[in-house]
Structure 1
Amino acid sequence: MLTRQVVGQTPGQNWHYESRYEQGVPFLWHYHPEYELTLTRGARGMRYIGSDVAEFGLLDLALVSPNQAHTWYARPEASPDREVQQVQVVFFTRDWLAELRRAGMPENLPFLDWLAGVGQGVVFSPGFAASLVPVFDELHEARGLYRLSLLFRIFDALPRDAQARGIGGSVAGRARDRRVELALGYLQEHYREPITLAVLAEAAASSPTSLKRLFREQIGASVTAVLQQLRLGHACHLLISTHLPVGLLAEQSGFRNPGNFYKQFAAEQGMTPAEYRRRNGLRRAQAMRI
């Protein structure tokens, strides 16, 4: 099940920082209207951002765009000596940065321009992530104005990673139209079920024509593309983490036509589901447990 996460707020701040220590990183599809910058330390597993699925190593830094389904997944035994893993997360909004710029902080403009070109998210190179570890360590301990200066030091650095990998087109959606929010919430709760445009429009208190237009304008993708992304992401997770037959996991991911699933999966991943499982799934998961 994919859930809408309610991000807490640090009193007196328009951004929020969290640090968690975990034995493993659970698979939990979620989304929220804020940008999320996540530094994962001491884990090995799989990172899911939309339909992009990739391994991550002991140090992973990624930026997730607003309203983009995502999660990290690592078993407790996947870390060296089964140590506790640290996950540091910064949540922020583009509106906050734009407001600062209008209030007399034009230095924000280059970062705002860079954010405007970010699609579903960005995965940063390991070397670049390592260079920011000391800053994240300070951010964790600092308070007041110095903590804010460390945040902007991180923001200033992000566009400079020449080896960063962008993810997909713009399906993040910076829109605040309530009809879009309602439609996204319905899709992300019911994506494994049959969904028609008429049913979705009713859930969003919109007409089908208006909803199609809003998705194009405010998300940059069609309703069908967003639904497909959610279903393929879930299918990738099942391929990696279970022994379910491909036909059954396709059905459990919302695909009623096996032929359509194979076609869409091959177009998205460049390989068949069976090949994807051989390369990324059970064999690697079993190796992690050793």
Structure 2
Amino acid sequence: MLIREMVGQTFGQRWHYQHLLVERVPFAWHYHPEYELTLTRRARGMRYVGGDVAPFGELDLTLVAPNQAHTWQAQSRADGQCHEVQVIFFTREWLEQLATGGLPELIGFADWLRKVQQGVVISEACTRKLVPLFDALHQSRGLDRLSRLLQILDQLPRDHEARLIGGAPTPEYQDKRVETALAWLHEHYREPVTLADLATVTRSSEATIKRLLREQLQDSMTGLLAQLRIGHACNLLITSQMPIQLVAEESGFPSPSHFYKQFGLAKAMSPAAFRKRYHLRRVMQEDAPATQSALVRAGVASHASP
């Protein structure tokens, strides 16, 4: 199930910072109305943002747009080190208020945010430049922490090698009925769903909710369902040996043939080819020699986890 994450606020400000040290990063579809800027260190795995599924390496920085289903997934490291995750949540409304209230330098960044679709994968070169600022953000407090945040945000539009994740741009205003529809779809995407169900939940007509999804998300109910279901299926293909027909069923697709068709359209390959390319067992086998060599050079191979 995909859950709505309640982010909250940091000391009454309309942004929030989290620092996590974890042994592994589990697959956990979630979404929230804030932008999320996540720096992941010392981890290797798969990143899911909307309909985009891609591997990430030891250093990853990604901006996720509001209300986009997303998660990262990484297994425990062989050397026993923890993955480090730094997350910044913020809203565009807060930045625009700052811009009009005395910080016009933020106008350009707010304009850039309007162009963000599902998210942005920041280039490795830019990420490495930003790592010291993330370190400083973690150590600082008060106005100094806010200053570090603004310095980080200022660099993002300057990354000309960043990869925009496709999809509908974040709308300027989102109808409450669309928010209700998204929340319900995120909770029930593995079940049979009809437009009539969505109309009932949002207390609107089928024509109205269909129009609102098209106008505000540039998508349809079937498109949103396919995105959520394919993301779920990708996780099962990557992490298990579950038969593909069962993957289709567990992900909410009405039939294997529909699953094959939708998956091929989204990923330009078959589910079997996707599993062969990205399955964790294969990735770990390919990474094992390099990991073991690095442990031997560091003198800690004998302490590595099995």
**Residue in 1 aligned with 2:15?**
15
- The Cα offsets for residues 180-204 of structure 1, whole Å up to 9 and x where unpaired, read as 1111111001101110001111112
The equivalences for 1:233-244 within 5 A come to 233-244=231-242
Displacement of 1:80 in angstroms is 5.4
Aligned pair 1:144/2:162, yes or no? no
- Aligned equivalents of 1:168 and 1:286: distance in 2? 29
The equivalences for 1:26-175 within 5 A come to 26-76=26-76, 79=77, 81-170=79-168, 172-173=170-171, 175=173
1:123 and 1:245, CA in 2 relative to 1: closer, same or farther beyond 3 A?
same
- Aligned equivalents of 2:244 and 2:110: distance in 1? 42
Contact 2:245 2:256 in 1 (8 A): yes
- The Cα offsets for residues 247-290 of structure 1, whole Å up to 9 and x where unpaired, read as 11011111112222111111111111111111111443552687
**Residue in 1 aligned with 2:219?**
221
- Aligned equivalents of 2:169 and 2:31: distance in 1? 12
Displacement of 1:63 in angstroms is 0.4
1:187 and 1:227, CA in 2 relative to 1: closer, same or farther beyond 3 A?
same
Contact 1:171 1:221 in 2 (8 A): no
- Given candidates 199, 212, 215, the residue that maps to 2:197 is 199
Contact 1:173 1:220 in 2 (8 A): no
Displacement of 1:68 in angstroms is 0.3
- Aligned equivalents of 2:4 and 2:115: distance in 1? 24
1:226 and 1:172, CA in 2 relative to 1: closer, same or farther beyond 3 A?
farther
- Aligned equivalents of 1:286 and 1:44: distance in 2? 9
TM-score by length of 2: 0.90
Displacement of 1:171 in angstroms is 5.9
Contact 2:116 2:169 in 1 (8 A): no
Contact 2:114 2:170 in 1 (8 A): no
- The Cα offsets for residues 142-189 of structure 1, whole Å up to 9 and x where unpaired, read as 111111111111111001112111111216555442211111111001
User: Any stretches of 5+ residues in structure 1 without a counterpart?
Assistant: none
Aligned pair 1:2/2:26, yes or no? no
Q: Which runs of 4+ in 1 moved over 4 A?
A: 171-174
State the AA in 1 paired with 2:68: Q
- Aligned equivalents of 1:101 and 1:216: distance in 2? 30
**Residue in 1 aligned with 2:300?**
none
% same residue: 56
State the AA in 1 paired with 2:176: R
Alignment RMSD (CA, Å): 1.5
Contact 2:114 2:169 in 1 (8 A): no
State the AA in 1 paired with 2:206: P
1:265 and 1:171, CA in 2 relative to 1: closer, same or farther beyond 3 A?
farther
Indicate the SS of the match to 1:91.
Answer: strand
* Number of aligned residues: 288
Displacement of 1:7 in angstroms is 0.2
- Aligned equivalents of 1:52 and 1:108: distance in 2? 29
TM-score by length of 1: 0.95
Indicate the SS of the match to 1:46.
Answer: strand
Indicate the SS of the match to 1:131.
Answer: helix
- Aligned equivalents of 2:7 and 2:46: distance in 1? 23
- Aligned equivalents of 1:30 and 1:55: distance in 2? 18
Contact 1:67 1:173 in 2 (8 A): no
Displacement of 1:213 in angstroms is 1.5
- Aligned equivalents of 1:247 and 1:213: distance in 2? 33
- Aligned equivalents of 2:41 and 2:118: distance in 1? 22
Aligned pair 1:276/2:274, yes or no? yes
- Aligned equivalents of 1:89 and 1:249: distance in 2? 31
Bigger CA radius of gyration: 2
- Aligned equivalents of 2:170 and 2:222: distance in 1? 15
